Every structure is written in C-alpha cells, then in structure tokens.
Amino acid sequence: MMDGKMGFQLVDTTFRDGEQSAGVVFSTEEKINMAIALDRAGVAWIEAGIPAMGQEEQETLRSLLALPLRATLIAWNRAELADIRASLSCGFSCIHISLPVSDLHISQKLKKDREWVIQQLRTALQLVQSYGCTITVGAEDTSRADSDFFLKFADVAAQYGATRIRFADTVGCLDPFMTFDRLQDVVKRCSLPIEFHGHNDFGLATANTLAAFQAGVQFASVTLAGIGERAGNASLEEVVASLEKFYGYHCGIEASHLGSLADLVAKASNRPLFPYRPVVGSVCRMTMQ
Amino acid sequence: MRQMVRVSDQTINEALRLGTSMAAIELMIPILKKYEIANIDVSLDYLPSDGVPKQILLHPLLRCKMHSSLEEIAQVRQMGFSKVIVSWLHQPSQSSLDQLIDALMAVREFAQDIYLCIENAEDLSIPELTSYWPLLSRYQVKRFIYQDVRSSLEPLGVCRKLESLQQTVPCPIEFHGHNTYGLATANSLAALRSGIQYVATAVSGVGSPNHAPMEEVLMAVKHLWKQDQVPSGSSLTADCIEILSYMGISLPVDKALIGRDVFAHESGIHVDGITKNPLLYEVIQPEEVGQTRQLIIGKHSGTASLKIKFLQWNLELDQAEALALLEKVRRLASVQKRPLSDLELHQLYWRRNQMDQSQLG
C-alpha cells in the first residue's frame, strides 16, 4: 500500500492554476520572488504559466527562465500549435499539453469526440517532440472520465515520449476512498508515471493527494496556500507536512520554509491567511510548535 | 449501510474562547439548529463563571465538557447541566483508572446523559481502548467520543481503526477530529464511512485546535455521497457568514463551498465551459449552498468571456472587437493587480469607441 514511497515529487502550479483563480494577478517581481523561494525550498517542478496568454505574459516567463534555478520550469499549453509555438519561442524546454478526457468535456465543451482528442494530441506532440522538449501531458477531468480512455490517451502520450500523465480531478468530485481505488487501478495499468491533480471544492484536496500517494502515483500538483480555481488546489504546505507526519516521507521540500512560502503568496494574492487554516494559519502554527 | 450524519457543534465553544457576548451566542444557536446539530459542546474552561443566562445554560442541545476532577464536576452540577462529557487524557504510565471511575460515579448522580471522551484516543492501541469498555456499560455512557486531539490520523487509518472498534464497543462512538494538517473533513467522512453517525464539526473549521468545517462534511455527504436526508444548503453561505460575524471572523474568499469567490470564474477556458454547461467546471450548483455564479473579467479572461459579458448589456462584440478589448483588459488587470469592475470595463469599451469616432470625424 505504500508504493508511493518509491519516489514522489510535487509540481507547483501556483503561477498557472493558482493565478487562474478569479481576481488574482501576480506581478513579474512577485513571481520572480516566489520562484526563487520555491526553488530554495526544494521544489523541483514549477508550472510557470501560459505563454499563449500574450506578449506581456511571455516577457514575465522569459524573466523566470533567465533565473538561475535548479527547478524545471514548465509551460502550460492547450493542444494547439499556436500555443505551443508561443512556449517554444519563450525558450521553454519542458512543455505541458492539456486536453480533456471525459465525455462530458469532449462533447459539451469541445463539441468533438474521443477520436478527435487522440488525433489532436498526436498532432501537438509531434510538434513538441520535433523540438526535443521534455513533454508532460494533462488529462483534464479524468475523475469523471472512463479509465480505459484515460489509459489509451496515456499510451498515445507515451508513444511520443511524454514523461508523465496528469490525472486531473478538475471539479474536485473525489473523496479519498474513491481516489485510492481509482488510482490504484490506473497506476497498475498506465504506461506512464501519474501526476495527481486535486481540487478543493469539498475541502478534500490534501486528503485526496495523500490517497493518490498511497495508491502509488509518483507526482502531485500543488499550489502555495492552495490558491487556485474556485476553492483552490491541494496546498503545498499541507501535502508536504502531511507526507512527513503520516508516512515519514520527505519529498525534497524543506518543511521549515512552508510558513514563509505561504506568507509570500498571501501577500501577492492579497488574500490574508485564515487563522484557522491548516499548517500555516496562526492558530495552527501555535498548535504545531 | 451509511447512516444519517449528525454533528456535534464546536463553533459555540470557539465563540466562548474568543469572548463572544452571550447575546451573540443566543443568536447563533438557532442558526446552527438548522443543520441537524446533535449537540453543542461547551468546555467548562471557557464558560464564564457568572453571566451565562439560564436559557443558554439549560438549552437542551448543550453538552458540557470537563475534566475528571471532583471540583469541576461540582461546578458543572451546580450550573445545572444534564449532558456531560468527561474528558480524559490517557497516559501510558497510568496504573489505575480510579480517578476516572470516581468522576463517572459522581457525574452519574446528576447527569441525564454521560459521554466519555478520550482526547488522545489515536495514541491508544485497540487493547488499550478496549480496557475502557467495561466503564462504558457500568456507567451507562451514552456515546464514546474518539478524539484525535493532535491530528495524528489520516482517512484510511481512521476508517480501519473505527471499523475495528465498533465490533466490540458497547455504545455508539462519536468521532472528534482536528484539522492541523487539513485532513479533518476527510477523516470525518472516513468515520462516517466506517458506520459512525456522530462527528464533531465547526463552521468553517474554527477552534483551537481547529476542526472539520461543518459545511464541508454536510455537503460532501449530501452531494458526493448523494445522501439527500442531509439538511438543505440553500441558506448555508449566509448562515455561516452570520455565525462567524458574531465572532468577529471573516471568511477567506476561497473557503470551500461558502467563500465569496468559489463560484466566480475568470479564466477564458472556464468561462467558456461554464456558459456551455455549468457542470463542466462546477461540481455543485451555487444555489445549493446559497451562492450565485459570478463572471469576473480580468487578466485570465478570454474573448468568449467578453462577448458573454457584453451580451448581458445587449452589446454584441465581434471577434476583432473582442480581441482588441481583451488586450486592454489584460493590461489594465495586470497594472492594477486585480480584475476589472463593470464600470472600468464600460469605460474601456466606450473610450475606445469614442476614439474611433473622433478619428473618423
């Protein structure tokens, strides 16, 4: 049951999914400061943003790429050639391609079918592969998708050299028991390492991330203070602290940095930390001492 | 298999700890009662020695939590409580349970309902916990409260332990989790899954140490597990905000379910999806927790968002107009580090149109 101990890393998406939360805008300077702090704390992967958003965003991303970081910066893309070209011209060498995999998203949002999704993925990956980039692939709304289609999607990603596949609980509709069962099943059958991406709509994102860890996934997406779409994502601080507390697992991120990381994002997002917030709220900081 | 969820409220206890006025507490109780509250727990430590109005003290839902000293018991008896929790911290070095037995005997003399709480139950092995079982029968303890005071459990462990204990315990178990690591909602769901019916919660998880947020536990059971006997959430957001306001607490905007912005959508992809079908990016409808959906125009907006927004004002933007406006929107949002108000959006649009006209003229 503790397969996850074989290696488990966090992918911070504060700048992408985090900044996407309604009303939040980080300045370039704030992103630089947070990137340096994340890097110092030991975060190995930083999803830095979406180059397709425009010139200003691209300038910010170029300044992040220019920093002397140990962490790998990842550009997030829809599976569209123009988006990918924007990422390449910024200078990214690690490219994330995202497509939905649930029938709900495919039919109602894209108004396409599964075959189209697979074809779109192939076309996008061909381009990325021709530039020799590191590829990661995201499967939006996996929690409401057919597991077999997710696995087929992952197979195609693997054919083009993708290094991992993101299992996204896009709307936060899983509980830890469902997460454990679903992930335990797909981990065994998937041709790629899995990254679990949880949302906090029912306050379960951290617990679901831990359940995915126990089910043997090798990566998880997190954000500082759990900032993200709607009720947010799994929080980096809670996941790091819980991994150490419950499983004695050190994922490479220093627990002593958690408070100051959360303070940084609280200030940049103009969202003060709730005193009762787990791990980093003032009440919890006192309890944990 | 799954039973009705009943919550033991910890919100009022935090209000007492913070020194909230008795008048405010009287206003909070009827709101909480809408949510199938089984008990309202108050710690003797936080109760002012005088000035608690009789109608609060004698409220049928109130349950007083105290330690096992005879002095405290006399105080609780004098205040007139009929529901009493004897709270006990298990210490491995304890050779005898005499002090606890004396306490239970003394409480039995006046209390109608006795509850035994082991604060650090998570530290105990199953045989250690089982050694308390004879006391539960002997003193007719109504429920055994399994507290995880140091937040030492994760959901899979909670479920395993509680399933096992329920096979031998002579009375129902109640789960009292804490949220230091952000797992209290999940742990409470795990307890319910194991067959337990009573869990401790507080509005938005307040408490010292903090708790499982009531709104999360109830709505997860209602919507993720589809148990429709859970009370309606149609006024949940307003109710929670009102309760917290009496305590001088304001909610974070992204608090799950009841935060101001959890049904606000800004990013282009999400707004486009929400407009086609809200289920694409919302796991429950905002109305189910007494909220409304909001469309925010800001840095992450797309052209679809602008078209939808302007259509609400009966203005139809074509793609070229939307693209031109979007660039200005993104720039302004980045500069001011926040989204645009409707007024600012109008100004951007009309200023541009005026310039076009003056150029033409």
Closest Cβ–Cβ partner in A173, A180, A245 for B181: A245
Closest Cα in chain A, distance from residue B167 (Å): 21
Decide if A238 touches B, using CB distance below 8 A. Answer: yes
Q: Indicate the number of domains in chain A.
A: 1
Instruction: Answer yes or no: do B269 and A78 touch at CB < 8 A.
Output: yes
Superfamily of chain region B6-246? Aldolase class I (3.20.20.70)
B17-31, B47-61, B300-314 — which is least confidently predicted?
B47-61
The whole-number average pLDDT for the span B137-150 is 98
In chain A, pLDDT over 70 holds for what percent of residues? 98
Each residue's pLDDT tens digit, B150-179: 999 999 999 999 999 999 999 999 999 999
Instruction: Answer yes or no: do A287 and B208 touch at CB < 8 A.
Output: yes
CATH code (residue A82): 3.20.20.70
Decide if B290 touches A, using CB distance below 8 A. Answer: no
| pLDDT value for A285 | 87
Residue of chain A nearest B334, judged by CA positions: A25
- Dmax (CA) for chain B in angstroms is 97
Beta bridge partners of A195: A166, A219
**Angle at the Cα of B314 (from B311 to B315), degrees rounded to 5?**
70
Q: Where do the CATH 3.20.20.70 domains begin and end in chain B?
A: 6-246
Whether A198 is in a domain gets the answer: yes
Return the H-helix or E-strand segment holding A181. helix A176-189
Whether A185 is in a domain gets the answer: yes
Each residue's pLDDT tens digit, A231-281: 999 999 999 999 999 999 999 999 999 999 999 999 999 999 999 999 999
Each residue's pLDDT tens digit, B273-286: 999 999 999 999 99
Domain assignment of residue A52, given as a range = 3-256
Each residue's pLDDT tens digit, A16-66: 999 999 999 999 999 999 999 999 999 999 999 999 999 999 999 999 999
| pLDDT value for A287 | 75
Name every chain A residue with its beta carbon within 8 A of the beta carbon of B185.
Answer: 202-204, 207
Name every chain B residue with its beta carbon within 8 A of the beta carbon of A175.
Answer: 186, 189, 220, 224-225
Residue A1 has pLDDT above 60, yes or no: no
**Inter-residue contact A75 to A85 (CB < 8 Å):** no
Decide if B359 touches A, using CB distance below 8 A. Answer: no
Return the H-helix or E-strand segment holding A45. strand A45-49
Whether A188 is in a domain gets the answer: yes
The whole-number average pLDDT for the span B194-203 is 97
| pLDDT value for B126 | 93
What's the mean per-residue pLDDT of chain B? 94
Whether A285 is in a domain gets the answer: no
Whether A276 is in a domain gets the answer: no
Q: How confident is the model at residue B356 (pLDDT cuts 50, 70, 90)?
A: low
Residue A132 has pLDDT above 50, yes or no: yes
Decide if A23 touches B, using CB distance below 8 A. Answer: yes
Say what the ipTM of the complex is: 0.96
Decide if B179 touches A, using CB distance below 8 A. Answer: yes
Decide if B190 touches A, using CB distance below 8 A. Answer: yes
**For the stretch A147-167, what's the b/e string if a residue is b when 16 or more beta carbons lie within 10 angstroms of its beta carbon?**
bebbbbbbebbbebebebbbb
Whether A288 is in a domain gets the answer: no
Whether A147 is in a domain gets the answer: yes
Report which of A116, A85, A15 is spatially closest to residue A57, judged by C-alpha positions: A15
Residue B152 exposed, middle or buried by CB count within 10 Å (0-12, 13-18, 19+): middle
In chain A, pLDDT over 90 holds for what percent of residues? 96
Residue A3 has pLDDT above 70, yes or no: no
| pLDDT value for B314 | 93
**Backbone phi, psi, residue A76, to 5°:** -90, 135
Q: How confident is the model at residue A4 (pLDDT cuts 50, 70, 90)?
A: very low
Each residue's pLDDT tens digit, A76-125: 999 999 999 999 999 999 999 999 999 999 999 999 999 999 999 999 99
Q: Which of A24, A98, A206 to mutate to test the interface with B (most CBs of B within 10 A)?
A: A24
User: Residues of B numbered 7-66 whose beta carbons fall under 8 angstroms of chain A's beta carbons: which are they?
Assistant: none
Closest Cα in chain B, distance from residue A23 (Å): 5
Residue B52 has pLDDT above 90, yes or no: no
The whole-number average pLDDT for the span B93-106 is 90
**Residue A129 structure tokens:** 């592969």
The whole-number average pLDDT for the span A172-193 is 98
Q: What is the C-alpha to C-alpha distance for residues B83 and B85, in angstroms, rounded to an integer?
A: 7
The whole-number average pLDDT for the span B25-35 is 97
Q: What is the C-alpha to C-alpha distance for residues B250 and B311, in angstroms, rounded to an integer?
A: 34
Q: How confident is the model at residue B238 (pLDDT cuts 50, 70, 90)?
A: very high
**For the stretch B28-52, what's the b/e string if a residue is b when 16 or more beta carbons lie within 10 angstroms of its beta carbon?**
bbebbeebebbbbbbbbeebeeeeb
User: Residues of B numbered 328-357 whose beta carbons fall under 8 angstroms of chain A's beta carbons: which are they?
Assistant: 330-331, 333-334, 336-339
| pLDDT value for B3 | 61
| pLDDT value for B4 | 81
Residue of chain A nearest B296, judged by CA positions: A22
Alpha-carbon A276 to chain mean position: 25
Decide if B191 touches A, using CB distance below 8 A. Answer: no
